[in-house]
């Protein structure tokens, strides 16, 4: 599933910004783009992603910016005390000039420690990843509705095929009997020949789709259960849809009724749409 999240935080003179983006993928792949001084955090950033994402390609970008203008002057009181004592011993004078003497005032940037830096980066990255997950969940809800619509359409097509199957089978058997009678006319082979009856029975059984429809209904129930699960089901959907497609193809190959065949075409269309959408599901 696709998703996007962005977050920024500031701590003293340091600010951090993170972005997390995800696109569809069969497996999980994480790519981190961080400043060179933060390469050591890539493994921990990837771990943050893996805690909330199981499928897809995820990119995490982190930027750091230090505000150098925020540095403040620092007075070295020990050095200033030495100068002040020397000035008093020399008979006194303007103490204000002591601030300009070497070592009294220095400019010192307040650089954060490595631990503070790591904490800031991980916090902002975790927030961006959390926002990305929210958008992924919203897309997942939309995909769920689409998958449920296709599942309902697939069930309707299957119900019509099941209703048409008995009459279609009777029609096929009647037509088969007529063709056999026509072929036997003028031959010495009797209509009750065991080998002939065996072959005719075998041919007739190949048009019975009851078992395939029963298995298809079972797979559709499994699909409905998977769509109602709270845990990631992307790989389960792939397997179930593969089985559904196999049964639909078998029904299509056995079906000789024109009306049922039209419904099988509709079923194949639904299965294809389900596969396309399931590729986006975690």
Tell me the angle at which helices 234-254 and 210-227 cross, rounded to the nearest 10 degrees. 160
120 and 179 inside one domain: no
The range of the structural domain enclosing residue 29 comes to 3-68+115-138
| Per-residue pLDDT, 241 | 92
- The CATH number given to whatever domain includes residue 42 is 3.30.230
44 and 129 inside one domain: yes
| Per-residue pLDDT, 187 | 66
Inter-residue contact 266 to 220 (CB < 8 Å): no
Rounded to an integer, what distance in angstroms lies between the CA atom of residue 201 and that of residue 84? 118
**Total domains present in the chain:** 3
154 and 89 inside one domain: no
Rounded to an integer, what distance in angstroms lies between the CA atom of residue 3 and that of residue 80? 58
| Per-residue pLDDT, 173 | 67
Q: Which tokens sit at 55?
A: 């499928």
143 and 266 inside one domain: yes
pTM, to two decimals: 0.62
Residue of 5, 124, 131, 130 lying closest to 65 (CA atoms): 124
Tell me the angle at which helices 42-50 and 114-184 cross, rounded to the nearest 10 degrees. 50
| Per-residue pLDDT, 100 | 77
131 and 243 inside one domain: no
27 and 119 inside one domain: yes
| pLDDT tens-place values along the chain, 282 residues long | 789 999 999 887 788 999 999 988 778 899 999 988 888 999 999 999 999 888 889 999 999 887 655 456 777 788 878 878 887 877 777 777 777 778 777 765 556 678 888 899 999 999 999 999 999 888 888 888 899 999 999 999 999 988 888 787 777 667 667 666 666 666 655 656 566 556 556 665 667 788 889 999 999 999 999 888 877 777 788 889 999 999 999 988 888 778 888 999 999 999 999 988 887 777
Rounded to an integer, what distance in angstroms lies between the CA atom of residue 277 and that of residue 143? 7
264 and 166 inside one domain: yes
121 and 237 inside one domain: no
122 and 87 inside one domain: no
| Per-residue pLDDT, 189 | 56
| Per-residue pLDDT, 65 | 85
191 and 266 inside one domain: yes
Of 90, 108, 126, the residue at which a domain comes to its end is 108
**Enclosing H/E stretch for 166:** helix 114-184
44 and 103 inside one domain: no
């Amino acid at each position: 599933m696709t998703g996007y999240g962005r977050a920024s935080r500031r701590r003293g003179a340091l600010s951090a910004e993170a972005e997390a983006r995800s696109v569809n993928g069969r497996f999980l792949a994480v790519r981190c783009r961080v400043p060179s001084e933060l390469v050591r955090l890539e493994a921990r950033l990837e771990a943050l992603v893996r805690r909330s994402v199981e499928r897809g390609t995820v990119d995490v970008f982190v930027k750091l910016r230090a505000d150098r203008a925020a540095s403040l002057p620092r007075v070295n009181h020990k050095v200033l005390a030495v100068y002040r004592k020397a000035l008093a011993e020399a008979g006194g004078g303007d103490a204000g000039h002591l601030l300009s003497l070497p070592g009294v005032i220095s400019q010192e940037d307040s650089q954060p420690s490595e631990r503070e830096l790591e904490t800031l980066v991980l916090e902002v990255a975790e927030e961006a990843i959390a926002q990305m997950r929210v958008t992924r969940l919203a897309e997942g809800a939309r995909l769920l509705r689409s998958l449920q619509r296709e599942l309902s359409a697939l069930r309707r097509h299957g119900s019509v095929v099941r209703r048409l199957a008995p009459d279609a089978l009777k029609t096929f058997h009647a037509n088969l009997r007529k063709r056999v009678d026509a072929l036997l006319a003028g031959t010495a082979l009797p209509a009750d020949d065991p080998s002939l009856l065996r072959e005719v029975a075998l041919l007739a059984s190949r048009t019975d789709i009851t078992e395939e429809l029963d298995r298809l209904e079972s797979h559709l129930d499994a699909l409905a259960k998977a769509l109602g699960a709270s845990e990631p089901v992307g790989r389960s959907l792939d397997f179930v849809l593969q089985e559904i497609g196999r049964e639909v193809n078998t029904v299509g190959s056995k079906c000789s009724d024109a009306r049922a065949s039209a419904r099988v075409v509709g079923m194949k269309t639904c299965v294809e749409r389900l596969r396309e959408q399931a590729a986006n599901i975690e």
